[in-house]
Chain A
Amino acid sequence: NAGVTQTPKFQVLKTGQSMTLQCAQDMNHEYMSWYRQDPGMGLRLIHYSVGAGITDQGEVPNGYNVSRSTTEDFPLRLLSAAPSQTSVYFCASTRQGAGGYTFGSGTRLTVV
């Protein structure tokens, strides 16, 4: 039981490049979310999903796309990276009706 797995752990991009941050969970959780963490800002919700085929925007969705084709996977896509997207990204999942999310260990992204 691996929990929530995020890859890669570290990534450096040039401005304008695209990439996908991967997230997978093996707990059959219906809910999955992406957060970004910046110093002094706590964690802010980017996008979330309540089940396969269903996604919605969070607090800071601009510049990011998501899709949920399976229960297990919830990738986050940056179509054209900007320096403002330099951050630590966390994926999380939980069962429907449960209060607390289980978080992955994060992806540290730097855009230069």
Chain B
Amino acid sequence: GQQLNQSPQSMFIQEGEDVSMNCTSSSIFNTWLWYKQDPGEGPVLLIALYKAGELTSNGRLTAQFGITRKDSFLNISASIPSDVGIYFCAGSGRAGGTSYGKLTFGQGTILTVHP
């Protein structure tokens, strides 16, 4: 079953506020990914993290790969209405296994931004 625990499950914020969400795992992953899904569409890759401790930014988005490779967080600064959607974390390449090519997803965080 699911091995990634993502929190919070949902967030209701005002435009301009900062957002933080995180993801933890019982397994070590070699790659952590953050995706955003708009209604009726497939997930779109936001940030990919490849090294433990890596901190990567993409515009107003910042994500970090935990030192233990079992967790990651995503921050969104100065939120805007188009940030609305579902955000997923995903792990790839589980250490010690043959899972390259497979993604394990968190349950998702539903973000609502009030103007």
What residues of chain A have their CB less than 8 Å away from a CB belonging to chain B?
4, 31, 33, 35, 40-45, 48-50, 58-59, 90, 92, 94, 96, 99-106
Contacts and interface: CB of A to CB of B under 8 A. Distances in A.
6 contacts: A33-B102, A33-B103, A42-B2, A42-B88, A92-B42, A92-B103
Interface string B89-101: 0101000000011
A87 to B, nearest CB: 14
A33 B106 CA distance: 17
Contacts of A106: 40-42
B88 A48 contact: no
Question: Number of contact residues on B: which range applies?
Answer: 20 to 34
Given A100-B48, A103-B44, A43 B92 contact: no
Given A42-B106, A48-B101, A101 B88 contact: no
A103 B2 contact: no
Nearest to A106: B42
B88 A43 contact: yes
B31 to A, nearest CB: 4
B101 A33 contact: yes
